[in-house]
Amino acid sequence: MKPARFKNGLKGYWLHLACFFAGLIMTAGILCFSSSPEVVVFDKGQAVSAFATELQRKKVDDHRAQRLTKEFIQAIDDALLKASINHHWIIVPKTSVYTGAKDMTGILMSQIAKTMKKSKRGPA
């Protein structure tokens, strides 16, 4: 049995190969973008208020409160970045009032608390 021949010789072979890879790339692109990101809301004011209340409840001195506040702000940034990457979220402030967006403040606040406890930075 003879191998299949292309009408245009090697040019036809490379053209068919290029079309095959173009189709493969398009399929991969469609699969990647089929899970489009979800817009969610985060109430940073609520998180900061809860943190401040916790600091007052634990009666933390001013020097430690300043240090923990800086670390808390970093933990917020880390949690938002991690959640946006892991869950394919676009996180907007609650003050933006995006209709139909899920409020993920509670989930993100628990992630922030875990981050603070994991690094033993939390008010204790």
| Gyration radius from the chain CA atoms | 26
Question: What is d(CA 54, CA 57) in angstroms, rounded to the nearest whole number?
Answer: 5
Side-chain-side CA neighbours of residue 15 (13 Å):
7
Q: What integer pLDDT is reported at residue 124 of this predicted model?
A: 47
Q: What total number of domains does the chain contain?
A: 2
Do residues 5 and 65 both lie within one domain? no
Average pLDDT rounded to a whole number, residues 42-48: 92
24 lies in which domain range?
1-34
Least confident of 45-54, 58-67, 96-105: 96-105
Mind listing the pLDDT tens digit for each residue in 74-105?
Answer: 999 999 999 999 999 989 888 876 677 899 99
Do residues 18 and 69 both lie within one domain? no
Among the listed residues 39, 56, 19, the one whose alpha carbon sits nearest the alpha carbon of residue 94: 39
Least confident of 1-15, 59-73, 89-103: 1-15
* 3-class secondary structure, 89: strand
* 38 DSSP assignment: E
Do residues 60 and 30 both lie within one domain? no
Tokens of 77: 């940034």
Tokens of 79: 């949690």
Tell whether 69 is covered by a domain: yes
pTM of the model: 0.65
Tell whether 123 is covered by a domain: no
Whether the predicted pLDDT of 34 surpasses 60:
no
Tell whether 124 is covered by a domain: no
